[in-house]
């Protein structure tokens, strides 16, 4: 199963965490009926894609077992695939979960480890769906301890993604199936995240659909003198608009309705400007 991006405007990927320790939903959606209800709510709010994840990858999070991850996400993918036509993305690094989720109807694989787990390239190749390759330095549990980059972080992230794209092609995955993501907050301090965000257009020029996840992240809190995660909606909207204006094809967000509305305004003005430039 595959789908076409809404390329005329930036798409909204709604976050559906099925984790008991998720950093901003407080594990409220662990149970199946709640997870399904939350997914349907995000679709009603205007999500173009739902990203379903059973492993928390925020800073400090510990890995989960394959069985635990399966038990969390597969019933949710099955139910939402049955009940909606909205494309579902599976946020996983685990080959078994990729296979089961795509069989259950997932239309995209979103892997924060960019298919570096043993067997992941093979599973993703066989799945036949688009794949989002994300940059991360280190592993979630320890990645924020001492992130280090050379003078040009965009070059380094681009080099990593280019290497993963080559690995995908060597595994038989057509590059037309690949999306990319610089991985905000994944082994990056504030200066690293800001340097990437300020030069997002360099990544969008690589020619792959660009995914950006800034929603409620600590980098926004740091820029607002340490505000609480519950107070980060305005900052998240500013980040989503910046990303859309600088080439993001998709923004990954918690607050779908607010983000979709902000993007509609931005897009209406951007379209008017483009029409005038063309006239």
Residues annotated as part of the active site: 217, 252
**Contact at 8 Å (CB) between 107 and 86?**
no
Grouping H, G, I as helix, E, B as strand and the rest as coil, residue 48 is: coil
Q: Of 58, 189, 171, whose CA–CA distance to 122 is shortest?
A: 171
Pairing of strands 131-134, 211-212: unpaired
Minimum CB–partner distance for residue 254 and ligand PT1 (Å): 10
- The Cα–Cα gap between 70 and 96 comes to 8
Minimum CB–partner distance for residue 134 and ligand PT1 (Å): 5
Our CB check for ligand PT1 shows the closer of 25 and 265 to be 25
Minimum CB–partner distance for residue 272 and ligand PT1 (Å): 30
Our CB check for ligand PT1 shows the closer of 164 and 252 to be 252
Residues engaged in binding ligand PT1 (CB under 6 A): 23, 57-59, 91, 110, 112, 132, 134, 181, 183-186, 211, 213, 217-219, 252
Minimum CB–partner distance for residue 181 and ligand PT1 (Å): 4
Our CB check for ligand PT1 shows the closer of 138 and 270 to be 138
CA angle 26, 30, 33 (to 5 degrees): 125
- The Cα–Cα gap between 196 and 184 comes to 8
- H/E stretch holding 260 reads helix 256-278
Residue showing the smallest CB distance to ligand PT1 in the complex: 213
Q: Of 52, 181, 62, 61, whose CA–CA distance to 115 is shortest?
A: 181
Minimum CB–partner distance for residue 253 and ligand PT1 (Å): 10
- Extended beta strands in the chain, E state: 11-17, 49-53, 88-91, 108-111, 131-134, 178-181, 211-212, 250-253
């Amino acid at each position: 199963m595959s789908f076409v991006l809404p390329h005329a405007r930036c798409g909204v990927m709604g976050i559906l965490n099925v984790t008991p320790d998720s950093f901003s939903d407080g594990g409220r959606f662990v149970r199946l009926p709640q997870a399904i209800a939350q997914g349907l709510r995000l679709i009603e709010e205007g999500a173009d894609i739902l990203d379903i994840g059973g492993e928390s990858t925020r800073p400090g999070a510990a890995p989960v077992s394959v069985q635990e991850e399966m038990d969390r996400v597969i019933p949710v993918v099955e139910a939402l695939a049955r009940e909606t036509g909205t494309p579902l993305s599976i946020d996983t690094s685990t080959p078994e979960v990729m296979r089961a989720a795509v069989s259950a109807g997932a239309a995209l694989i979103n892997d924060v480890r960019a298919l570096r787990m043993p067997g992941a390239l093979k599973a993703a190749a066989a799945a036949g769906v688009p794949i989002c390759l994300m940059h991360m330095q280190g592993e979630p549990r320890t990645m924020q301890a001492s992130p280090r980059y050379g003078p040009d972080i965009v070059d380094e992230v681009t080099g990593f993604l280019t290497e993963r794209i080559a690995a995908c092609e060597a595994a038989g995955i057509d590059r037309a199936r690949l999306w990319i993501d610089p991985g905000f907050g994944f082994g990056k301090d504030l200066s690293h995240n800001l340097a990437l965000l300020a030069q997002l257009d360099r990544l969008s020029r690589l020619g792959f659909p660009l995914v950006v996840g800034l929603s409620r992240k600590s980098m926004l809190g740091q820029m607002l003198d340490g505000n609480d995660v519950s107070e980060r909606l305005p900052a998240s909207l500013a980040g989503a608009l910046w990303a859309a204006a600088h080439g993001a094809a998709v923004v990954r967000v918690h607050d779908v309705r607010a983000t979709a509305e902000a993007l509609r305004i931005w897009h209406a003005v951007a379209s008017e400007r483009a029409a005038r430039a063309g006239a």
